[in-house]
A = this chain, B = another copy of it.
């Protein structure tokens, strides 16, 4: 849901001496157009190929890799065998993933309630927390009330 600005993203690439090639622009736009999804490399490639059949899957992988290394994208795995991507949010904007066991739908949920827990873990385990990832598996509203 959180959609960064296209030009800002390009600048962040340039700052690290990455060239703004047409392929990278197309891929980033595809991600922006679908920022409510959690696309896989293959899915990004499929979208991009519609208008630009010449773009190769390897280029998609390489672009996603760069964006992940620049913390523009986050990589997540929902257990379906491939890595998926979402735009990284700032530290202040934490969110979790609600994964429906029945239909597989993934919803995001914003909240900051983990703060207390993190403070506790930090103190108890001597572990300095930098990031977290919470997945909640269960049943979405549609699947709870079928028909």
Contact = CB atoms under 8 A, between A and B. Distances in A.
Interface stretch (A4-12, A36-44, A46-54, A121-129): A121-129
Contacts of A129: 136-138
B127 A120 contact: no
Given A75-B79, A109-B124, A117-B114, A135 B136 contact: no
A137 B141 contact: no
A40 to B, nearest CB: 14
Contact of A118 (B118, B126, B127, B136): B136
B135 A132 contact: yes
Contacts of A79: 75, 77
Contacts of A113: 116-117, 120
Given A75-B79, A118-B136, A130 B109 contact: no
Interface in A82-133: 96, 98, 100-101, 107, 109, 111, 113-114, 116-118, 120-121, 124-133
Contacts of A138: 127-131
B125 A117 contact: no
A140 interface: yes
Contact of A117 (B111, B126, B133): B111
Q: Which 6 A-B pairs have the closest CB atoms?
A: A129-B138, A131-B137, A126-B141, A128-B139, A113-B117, A130-B138
